């Protein structure tokens, strides 16, 4: 594959950082966005290829245009590979999920990816080549208690992916989602801390509980998610899919 112009959101750590490393190692130019400029700069310094640091709060309605316009201006062409990884979770019983919790999950996990996809797709369609990969969750496939807002946002993201994929299927552009289970990332560490604080179990016990929820008996490594993201980037025949990377938790 020739070198492509890539944009990875939520790139500072975890899955986003692993994906950025892999894309850069393959010779692509990789733009990095997240709220933390320091994390992005530290990652950019480790990448072997060209990179661009564009800190942004993707819940800002103007951020999608600002970030993508910067990539276009710096590298002279449209974003060709868009990895929609930025996201967050929240946990509460449904009856105690506030309007603010609900709005925050939808804004970051669904509306921000929608805006980025809407902004990037025309450039991909115009040159008749593009790859979009959204990092969703197995919460896009099945419901668990106490994560209704997060689950709804991820179900919505998978729906967005499927509809967009159908719309551009004849244009040389693919749109897919990767649906991880519990991955060994800072987000999972936050979940472990919450479980420990609310149940009295140690963090080691809480972490083991999450690992055992997956049939393989361990957390997923971020590199394993990056493997599937890169597969979607390489393939012109995979589109409209939600590919589980969950150790066999959800069989579909």
* pLDDT means over runs of 10, the chain (252 residues): 96 96 98 96 97 98 98 98 96 96 98 98 98 97 95 98 98 98 84 80 85 90 97 98 94 78
What's the chain's Rg over C-alpha atoms? 18
Burial class (CB in 10 A: 0-12, 13-18, 19+), 181: buried
* Residue from 113, 150, 179, 183 carrying the catalytic annotation: 150
Q: How far apart are CA 4 and CA 68, in angstroms?
A: 14
Catalytic residue flag (residue 146): no
Q: How far apart are CA 199 and CA 225, in angstroms?
A: 29
Q: How far apart are CA 208 and CA 182, in angstroms?
A: 11
pLDDT computed for residue 67 by the predictor: 98
pLDDT computed for residue 245 by the predictor: 96
Note whether 209 and 201 are within 8 A (CB).
yes
Coil, helix or strand at residue 53: strand
What would the two tokens of residue 235 be? 């393939």
pLDDT computed for residue 189 by the predictor: 80
Q: Which domains does the chain have, with CATH numbers?
A: 5-181+221-243 (3.40.50.720), 183-219 (no CATH)
pLDDT computed for residue 135 by the predictor: 98
What would the two tokens of residue 110 be? 């669904």
Closest-CA residue to 108 (of 211, 47, 187, 53): 187
Q: How far apart are CA 104 and CA 115, in angstroms?
A: 15
Question: Buried (b) or exposed (e) across 241-251, using 16+ Cβ within 10 A?
Answer: bbbbbbbebbe
Q: How far apart are CA 62 and CA 58, in angstroms?
A: 8
């Amino acid at each position: 594959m020739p070198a492509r112009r890539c944009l990875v959101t939520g790139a500072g750590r975890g899955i986003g950082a692993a994906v950025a490393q892999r894309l850069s190692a393959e010779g692509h130019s990789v733009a990095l966005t997240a709220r933390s400029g320091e994390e992005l700069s530290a990652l950019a310094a480790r990448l072997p290829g060209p990179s661009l640091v564009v800190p942004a709060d993707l819940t800002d309605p103007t951020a999608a245009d600002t970030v993508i316009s910067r990539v276009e201006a710096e590298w002279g062409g449209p974003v060709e590979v868009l990895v929609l990884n930025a996201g967050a979770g929240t946990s509460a019983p449904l009856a105690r999920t506030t309007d603010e919790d609900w709005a925050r999950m939808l804004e970051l996990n669904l509306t921000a990816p929608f805006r980025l996809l809407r902004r990037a797709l025309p450039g991909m369609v115009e040159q008749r080549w593009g790859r979009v990969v959204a990092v969703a969750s197995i919460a896009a496939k099945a419901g668990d208690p106490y994560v209704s807002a997060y689950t709804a946002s991820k179900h919505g993201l998978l729906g967005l992916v499927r509809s967009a994929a159908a719309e551009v299927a004849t244009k040389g552009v693919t749109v897919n989602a990767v649906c991880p289970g519990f991955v060994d990332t800072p987000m999972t560490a936050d979940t472990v801390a919450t479980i420990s604080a609310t149940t009295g179990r140690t963090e080691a016990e809480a972490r083991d509980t999450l690992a055992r929820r997956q049939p393989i008996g361990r957390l997923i490594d971020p590199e394993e998610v990056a493997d599937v993201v890169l597969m979607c980037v390489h393939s012109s025949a995979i589109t409209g899919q939600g590919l589980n990377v969950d150790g066999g938790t959800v069989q579909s």
